Chain A
Amino acid sequence: DAGVIQSPRHEVTEMGQEVTLRCKPISGHNSLFWYRQTMMRGLELLIYFNNNVPIDDSGMPEDRFSAKMPNASFSTLKIQPSEPRDSAVYFCASSANRGSTDTQYFGPGTRLTVL
């Protein structure tokens, strides 16, 4: 089992540039989550999908952020235009969503630095 795969692992970009983060969930999992981790706010949910459909995007900071899940094995999180305050570690997680016993499995994260 390869686990949750995220790419890139590190991204350094300049303010105003578009950034795309990618995630491949564990095969067979039908829930996918995007979280952001900062020193100030800790780990916070951005958005999650169930069966490729966005269920809760209340954590998406603003219109500069968008997320898609075109199929069960791939999701993207896009920031356009990026700003220095977007610098954080972005985690993707997946779960089988079989009910209350679910465990979420986290990817290694993408460390984003916006200069």
Chain B
Amino acid sequence: KQEVTQIPAALSVPEGENLVLNCSFTDSAIYNLQWFRQDPGKGLTSLLLIQSSQREQTSGRLNASLDKSSGRSTLYIAASQPGDSATYLCAVRPKRKDQAGTALIFGKGTTLSVSS
């Protein structure tokens, strides 16, 4: 059974720091891995999606890497800002032999607080 783990559960950093969030998964049979952002009381916003054949994706100050063989992904945030404060969720889309459509399996998230 696929399990997704995120470490640390919470992180506090001063503004301007570069930081790394970690995600690990137990089964490498995935279509893709996504990183989401969730603000308090809000829904989820997709940040980056990495296909299983890719190694990384970049968007602005965000860079996500994927090492499928070791079951790991990292989300790198450069020059953090107070507006980056949110919960960051990692999710994998597992492969199924019977059909292409599958739901996401989520980690419990890392809550980031960036102080000014």
Residues of A whose CB lies within 8 Å of any CB of B are 4, 31, 33, 35, 42-45, 48, 50, 55-56, 91, 93, 97, 99-109, 111
| A91 x B44 contact (CB < 8 A) | yes
In this assembly, does B46 line the interface, its C-beta being within 8 Å of a C-beta of chain A?
yes
Main secondary structure of the interface of A (DSSP, over half): strand
Number of interface residues of B (CB under 8 A): 27
| B103 x A48 contact (CB < 8 A) | yes
| A42 x B108 contact (CB < 8 A) | yes
Cβ contacts A to B, 6 pairs, < 8 Å: A35-B103, A42-B108, A101-B51, A106-B36, A107-B43, A108-B43
Contacts of A102 in B (CB 8 A): 93
Interface residue ranges of B17-54 to A (CB < 8 Å): 31-32, 34, 36, 41-46, 49, 51-52
